[in-house]
């Protein structure tokens, strides 16, 4: 987990008003605790396993992870998911009066903006890493998303 991702998580917890959040990924357990309504004190506890974990490849903040969707039907195995590269709020368009960047049935191209994720008052354009057709939008507009949460189901071209 990168330092910037930890900082985003801390700010998100403080902003949300939660008193404690525990986040666990690939053998790293991070607990962020806040005290009081004004968030004066915050405590960060990181737990790492005693054994050395396998190295994880670093990815830039602009790239969107893409993985195959595990399904039981053989015909669905050709679909890919576009996952959230960060914690934030998912938006399908740049403003409420603008059309969505990508709808079901739309053909998308590599590098095309497909949504926006707002994190700490910054609007991050999420781009597709491949060309394909949107099969399903997996997240409702204006809803919170987690890191690595599936956003779109895509048929690659």
pLDDT at 76: 52
Contact partners, residue 40, CB within 8 Å, separation at least 6: none
Q: 116 in helix, strand or coil? A: strand
Range 66-156 classified under CATH 3.30.1490.20: no
Query: Which pLDDT does position 92 carry in this prediction?
Result: 96
Q: Each residue's pLDDT tens digit in the chain (157 positions)?
A: 676 777 777 777 777 777 777 777 766 677 777 665 554 454 444 444 434 444 444 444 444 444 444 444 445 568 898 999 999 999 999 999 999 999 999 999 999 999 999 998 899 999 998 899 999 999 999 999 999 999 999 999 8
CB 64 within 8 A of CB 128: yes
Q: Where are the domains of the chain?
A: 3-47, 66-156
Alpha carbon distance 123, 106 (integer Å): 23
DSSP annotation of 95: S
The pLDDT of residue 58 is 44
For residue 101, the tally of other CB atoms under 10 A from its CB is 21
Distances, alpha carbon 112 to alpha carbons 62, 64, 123, 126, in Å? 12, 12, 16, 8
pLDDT computed for residue 104 by the predictor: 94
pLDDT of residue 77: 67
pLDDT of residue 78: 82
- Classify 64 as helix, strand or coil: coil
Contact yes or no for 123/90 (Cβ under 8 A): no
Q: How high is the pLDDT of residue 49? A: 46
């Amino acid at each position: 987990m990168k330092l910037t991702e930890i900082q985003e998580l801390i700010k998100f917890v403080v902003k949300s008003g939660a008193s404690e959040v525990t986040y666990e990924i690939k053998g790293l357990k991070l607990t962020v605790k806040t005290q009081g309504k004004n968030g004066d004190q915050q405590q960060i506890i990181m737990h790492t396993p005693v054994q050395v974990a396998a190295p994880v490849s670093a990815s830039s903040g602009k790239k969107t992870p893409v993985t195959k969707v595990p399904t039981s039907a053989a015909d669905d195995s050709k679909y890919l998911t576009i996952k959230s590269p960060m914690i934030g709020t998912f938006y399908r368009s740049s403003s409420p009066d603008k059309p969505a960047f990508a709808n079901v049935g739309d053909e998308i191209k590599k590098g095309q903006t497909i949504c926006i994720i707002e994190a700490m008052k910054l609007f991050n354009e999420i781009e597709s890493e491949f060309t394909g057709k949107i099969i399903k939008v997996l997240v409702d507009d204006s809803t919170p998303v987690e890191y690595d949460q599936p956003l779109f189901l895509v048929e690659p071209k």
